[in-house]
Chain A
Amino acid sequence: MSSILKAKKKPFNVWDAKVLGGDESKFGLEGSFTQVIKTYSPPSRGKCEIIEGEDKEAAKKLGDILLKHEALTKR
């Protein structure tokens, strides 16, 4: 914790294209060949379905779900 507080007081070194001595046209957003055109939230997962019941019953229900799953049917 004390280190975190100390870190706050440290000076910041800013290294830009000039300091690094590179070709300025290759730095930053201007120098990037890719453009982000859109950002969005990932498709959300549905709510978690909790399998109820005693251990044995729950295990059986989960087994039935898994057996229908693509990962097991397409073996």
Chain B
Amino acid sequence: MGIEIILDKCTGCGLCVKACPFAAIKIKNKKAEIEANCTLCGSCVDVCKFDAIILERPKPSDKDLSEYEGVWIFVELREQKIKKVSLELASKAREIADTLEERVGAVIFGGKVKRLCDDIAAYGIDVIYIAENDNLREYNTNNYAGIITGLISKYKPNIVLFPATHLGRDLAPRVAAALEVGLTADCTGLSIKDCLLLQSRPAFGGNIMADIISPSARPQMATIRPNVMKIRSPDSTRKAEIISIPVDIDPKAMRIIIKEIIKTTKSGTKSLDEADIIISGGRGMGSAEKFKILEDLAETVNGVVGASRAAVDAGWRPRSDQVGQSGKTVSPKLYIACGISGKIQHQVGMKSSDTIIAINTDTEAPIFDIADCGIVGDLFEIVPLLNEELKKKLQIP
């Protein structure tokens, strides 16, 4: 069990040295040698062109599942700040860990992330594992997956939670596959049943719910939908133990280098998947200009404007605004659908919103089947009136 170099096959080419995020391989006498700080992350196995590295991770049998302890979360950052979903994960992890009487661990990667530790600790974290390196400032699939796989192999947490964001959905499956463990994607509910993590998620476009367990493998891993879990109130006196993980990333071994990030949303506005309030327009809007009334309303309530596929296809809104099957899946606290008939393809993208309000001229529009409350009427009359009313009550000039 463990990692081994087949000396006959090793040519001393050094690819593995570059690929190792922990600087745990040295070339001695033209052969690779694994040093004691190896975490069994497997980054070297992937790059070796001569199949000269054999990695066997110890498989947990029923007997030693209990060795795995702790509830971990992956803390997602954006522009080196903690994303809201990370606080949601922390809060849920705390709740689960309390049930299990285990500790909560958080994993943070980035350039300089130590300053964020107190902020996240306040949401119920006991231990924080940080890896700081300039090459970790931007998300990089191979580096992130390698390091987190290594950390899990070393510290053996019982449960690991990732956000079901673009980043988390890219990262978690790689880690799960490398470790040969289960992964339940897109969970909307988590609880503990008979000491196992009970993972609830919608399936078949939200038409059915499934409860899923991972009984035989550790850690039990899941990605969690943003905007679902409640954030607990922070306790700023809470301090976490910080464990710094020494990493060494050779930019020459990075297959992808991010040069520049171009934002599609205006600075200051939230993205659709993070917004608490979304005001969406569909075919009924009629033109790009008329979306102005939705933008005005969005500004009043501090929301974001979305669109149905019809509005995007007509060229009224950018593709990044699209909600639905071929667009984004959102779950804000409040979703206001204006001039959207709400066909099934749109519904699957917004059905999990807390409250749905529909404004449509057609009484028969399917959007009213899933809306909590609606107005049958002309949105061009109602939306501006509503905006005025809200401005008055919220005392916005």
B167 within 8 A of A: no
- Chain B interface mostly: mixed
- Please state if A48 and B389 are interface contacts (CB–CB under 8 Å): no
Report B-chain residues with C-beta under 8 Å of the C-beta of A63.
386, 389-390, 393
Given contacts A34-B212, A38-B211, contact A71 B375 (CB under 8 A): no
A69:B372 contact, CB within 8 angstroms:
no
Of the listed stretches A1-9, A10-18, A51-59, chain B binds A51-59
Given contacts A39-B209, A41-B208, A48-B373, contact A66 B390 (CB under 8 A): yes
State the main secondary structure of chain A at its contact with B.
mixed
Determine the chain B residues whose CB is within 8 A of the CB of A29 once the complex forms.
none
Q: Mark B261-279, 1 if CB is under 8 A from A, else 0.
A: 0000000000000001100
How far is the CB of B209 from the nearest CB of chain A, in Å?
A: 5
Decide if B121 is an interface residue (CB 8 Å cutoff).
Answer: no
Find out whether the CB atom of B332 lies under 8 angstroms from the CB atom of A34: no
Decide: A41 and B377 in contact? CB cutoff 8 A: no
Q: Number of contacting residues on B, CB 8 A?
A: 51
Say whether A48 contacts B371, CB under 8 Å.
Answer: yes
Interface residue A20 (Cβ < 8 Å from any Cβ of B): no
Residue B280 is within 8 A (CB to CB) of chain A in the complex? no
When distances are taken between beta carbons in the complex, the residues of chain A under 8 Å from B184 are 34
A62–B277 contact, CB under 8 A? no
Contact of A37 with B211 at beta-carbon distance under 8 Å, contacts A55-B378, A62-B386, A75-B302 already known: yes
B355 at the binding interface (Cβ < 8 Å): yes
In angstroms, Cα B373 to Cα A46, docked, is 9
Q: Do A70 and B333 touch across chains, with their CB atoms under 8 A apart?
A: yes
Knowing A33-B181, A50-B375, A55-B378 touch, does A39 contact B210 (C-beta < 8 A)? yes
User: Are A48 and B209 touching (Cβ within 8 A)?
Assistant: no
Tell me whether B233 is interfacial, beta carbon within 8 Å. no
Is B217 close to A, CB under 8 A?
yes
Cα(A60)–Cα(B394), bound, Å: 13
CB distance from A58 to the nearest CB of B (A): 5
Q: What A residues does B375 contact at CB under 8 A?
A: 50-51, 58-59, 62
Contact of B326 with A by CB under 8 A:
no
A-facing residues in B38-95 (Cβ within 8 Å): none
The answer to whether B382 touches A34 (Cβ under 8 A) is no
1/0 contact string of B380-396 vs chain A (CB within 8 Å): 01100110011001100
Cβ-based interface call for A42 (8 A): yes
In the complex formed, the residue of B with least CB distance to A51 is B375
Q: In whole angstroms, how far apart are the Cα atoms of A51 and B386 in the complex?
A: 13
Which of B214, B354, B393 lies in contact with A35, CB distance below 8 A?
Answer: B214
Shortest A34–chain B CB gap in Å is: 4
CB of A72 to closest CB in B, whole Å = 6
The answer to whether B214 touches A71, judged by C-beta atoms less than 8 angstroms apart, is no
Q: Given the interface contacts A33-B216, A55-B382, A59-B386, does A40 sit within 8 Å of B372 by beta carbon?
A: no
Please judge, given known A-B contacts A39-B203, A69-B334, whether A48 and B213 are in contact too, CB under 8 Å. no
Residues of chain A lying within 8 A (CB to CB) of residue B358: 48
B91 smallest CB distance to A (angstroms) = 15
Interchain nearest-CB distance for B62 vs A (Å)? 14
Q: Bound complex: CA of A49 vs CA of B357, how far in Å?
A: 10
Task: State the 7 A-B residue pairs at the shortest beta-carbon distance, nearest first.
Answer: A33-B182, A59-B385, A63-B389, A71-B333, A34-B182, A71-B334, A38-B211
| Known contacts A71-B277, A72-B301; 5 further A-B pairs (Cβ under 8 A) | A48-B371, A49-B372, A56-B385, A63-B389, A69-B334
Q: A residues near B, CB below 8 A?
A: 32-42, 45-46, 48-51, 55-56, 58-60, 62-63, 65-67, 69-72, 75
Pull 6 A–B residue pairs with CB atoms less than 8 Å apart, ordered by A: A37-B213, A58-B377, A59-B385, A62-B386, A66-B301, A72-B301
